[in-house]
Structure 1
């Protein structure tokens, strides 16, 4: 059976952030993930994990000014120093939290640039980050995101991410495969997992349209979860969806789709 981790950025949002750990534990989750830990002291978050018996599965590298609409800076040639400083900060949090892997949101393309234009700096930044994480015993992820939700995002498809992994050439770099984003951009979910599971380090789920709970849209998650299990995936599956009502009210999907 898949191991599900609650994404605390998306779930239990009626609660202050630090109270979401307890809510996730009470709901039956054993792991959590969220976008960023940096608004809190690492020891506060570590204590919340310990107190509620939770595993920190994932968080992101710093991604620029999120409130202003930035969605990562790894593809920005004028922000290399900022990116590399952020790698060190993220590693410090990950080690305190016992988090084994960090995700890099590569960012929106600079005005007028193409992916080919920014590829050299993106490759250099990912290679720097992967090597720094490897020294710390951590894994780096890179995530394609659909261009409907985030217009201008530099990395939108699995084939682009696979090519990037080849170009970076670091053994601890993997893909964060978000089923929702993949469905919107390319479909071919089962075949992509068949072919590339060895290069996928983390899976996230939401349904389409609307990014609601699995089972509320067009994706056959009952079949897909069985398929993922049959392939031997032993990682976590992050629940990064927008509850259609309250989080707790919508959690019946887990038992319904994994039976």
Structure 2
């Protein structure tokens, strides 16, 4: 039933393989998502245990992965490192080409995050000089995306719960940077879980950001589990997105509150208006 319902959604539905069925090897989790009619997303493609060849053999489209391994948007040395590892990521993405988005979208943040999601270089206050430097660096990222024929995406995060000290974390920050550069090779990864914790007003945020959205990620608040476990009215968000003409990627980046099968079913139901 989940696969049939997923095909009826007006959106391209995916789920993060890093957070569901974690007892399985990563490529087996991806295969499981495909059996449920979902595309997959992954995090750090370079880490030990990630077999890109095995993932490709599953035949399940991978729509997003980490777009850098080190670096940041706020310092000269960090920018050079980010650009160098972004080039590595672009070339790795070619190993997972698919018919939906070509190569996986390549995800970026204001700074590198450690294994606990905390910034490697925490920032107490983002200065005007940092904004200028971030704009220059992302302009170069967009140029790299054009040269390598890939799309990078800048993701908003939340400061209150998961990622304190991360620069350019709010949706307004990421939108301002991406809109200012306005390149098809630099889009937004609009994460509504993070946005709800930081600012709320999700439907208006989606409408304002719509021309620059590369994908939307979702989880409920609190708890970062599937839709229906918290306070966000995701069916209403889905209806507003459909009414606005959005037909792109919506990805579940959430833990299962109990049963992974039920989690993906709740997600698909929430993003299949009228289902």
Q: Secondary structure at the match of 1:218?
A: coil
Which residue number corresponds to residue 158 of structure 1?
A: 171
CA RMSD of aligned residues (A): 2.2
Task: Tell me whether 1:34 sits opposite 2:42 in the alignment.
Answer: yes
Which of 8, 12, 16 is the aligned partner of 2:25?
16
Q: How far is the alpha carbon of 1:254 from its aligned partner?
A: 3.4
Moved more, 168-177 or 5-14: 168-177
CA distances 1:104-127 after superposition (whole Å, capped 9, x unpaired): 112145555524342233222211
Deviation at 1:171, TM superposition (A): 4.0
TM-score by length of 2: 0.82
Instruction: Indicate the SS of the match to 1:203.
Output: strand
- In the alignment, which residue of structure 2 is the partner of 1:106? 110
Distance 2:23 2:184 in 1: 40
1:140 aligns with 2:152: yes
Corresponding residue pairs, total:
249
Change in CA separation of 1:184 and 1:141 when aligned onto 2, cut-off 3 Å: same
Q: Which runs of 4+ in 1 moved over 6 A?
A: none
Stretch moving more, 230-239 or 245-254? 245-254
Structure 2 unaligned blocks of 5 or more? 1-8, 98-102, 112-118
1:93 to partner: Cα distance: 0.9
Question: Given the superposition, is the C-alpha separation of residues 48 and 78 from structure 1 closer, same or farther in structure 2, using an over 3 Å criterion?
Answer: closer
Flag the 1:88–1:199 CA change in 2: closer, same or farther, 3 A: same
How far did residue 245 of structure 1 move? Answer: 1.7
Question: 2:95 corresponds to which residue?
Answer: 96
Kindly indicate whether the alpha-carbon contact (under 8 Å) linking 1:115 and 1:154 is maintained by their aligned counterparts in 2.
no
Distance 1:146 1:213 in 2: 18
Change in Cα spacing, 1:223 to 1:169, as seen in structure 2 (3 Å) is closer
Distance 1:166 1:250 in 2: 34
Q: Distance in 1 between matches of 2:210 and 2:234?
A: 17
